[in-house]
Amino acid sequence: MEITLDFETFPVGEALRYLGCAQQAEDSRRLVTEALGPLLSSIHPRYLWRLLPLERISDKLSAGGLPLEGSDIRRHLEGCDRALLFCATLGHEADQLLRRTQVEDLSKAVVLDSCCTAAIEEGCGRAEEQMKARLPGAFFTTRYSPGYGDLPLTIQEAFLSLLEAPKRLGLCASDSSILTPRKSVTAIIGVSEHPLTPAGQRRCESCSARENCPYRKKEEYCGR
């Protein structure tokens, strides 16, 4: 399914935040808006999703036969009977544009990279809204991705295979479980017929980037 991103509603402030710039920094804001034109005209954001029953056997948890290992994901999905698995990508066009820009102007490439990160996060948010609209009356956890907490990054290949992402989106995982195209996301959202406790909310303590997170160092929150 396609995701529409446009210049008028693009979260410029998020790109500035990824750059580590103040929201009122006019020079940085101008650089971001200049990078958006080529980016938005190049990318074709898309996503896939499946709603699968959660299976619990002893202390083992799985969704559609995909093992979900680790205590963090078990806590995150506590109270859920289903899991919404999805992936989203900006496509190979974003990677190609980034590579060209890195050759031409490294400073502009840094700005563009932040725009790409803001774009895939915004795309995930819009995809999430569309998916939730298909499940009226349900209750949801926040997104949780492989590599967060103790959920192994190594499930990426099986995760993508379950969604048929290599065939349908060209989205794959490398031998080291890195997504290609790079500006892509895989995530799990717990689904329940009943209201959920805050246990399903993301916390800094369960994030794999917590040790080097610039927001945490400034006592801020990334919003994920």
Domains of the chain (ranges; CATH) run 12-217 (3.40.109.40)
| Residue that is written with structure tokens 């020079």 in the block | 27
**Predicted local distance difference test score (pLDDT) of residue 222:** 53
* Angle, CA of 56, 143 and 209, to the nearest 5°: 105
pLDDT tens across 185-223, in order? Answer: 999 999 999 998 764 444 555 454 555 565 555 444 454
In terms of average pLDDT, the best of 8-22, 48-62, 186-200 is: 48-62
Higher-pLDDT residue of 99, 196? 99
CA distances from 7 to 11, 13, 91, 120, 123 (A): 9, 13, 18, 14, 13
Q: What is the DSSP letter of 204?
A: G
3-state secondary structure of 53: strand
For 165, phi then psi, to 5°, come to -65, -35
With beta carbons less than 8 A apart as the criterion, state whether 45 and 88 touch: yes
Predicted TM-score (pTM) of this structure: 0.86
User: Taking Cα atoms as reference points, which of 76, 66, 217, 81 lies closest to residue 154?
Assistant: 66
* pLDDT, mean of residues 6-15: 93
Q: Does residue 134 surpass a pLDDT of 80?
A: yes
Give the number of residues written for the chain.
224
d(CA 51, CA 191): 9
Quote the tokens at residue 15.
């790109």
pLDDT tens across 135-157, in order? Answer: 999 999 999 999 999 999 999 99
With beta carbons less than 8 A apart as the criterion, state whether 157 and 215 touch: no
**Predicted local distance difference test score (pLDDT) of residue 219:** 47
User: Taking Cα atoms as reference points, which of 139, 123, 136 lies closest to residue 187?
Assistant: 123
User: Taking Cα atoms as reference points, which of 47, 207, 202 lies closest to residue 127?
Assistant: 47
**Predicted local distance difference test score (pLDDT) of residue 215:** 52
**Predicted local distance difference test score (pLDDT) of residue 200:** 46
**Predicted local distance difference test score (pLDDT) of residue 159:** 98
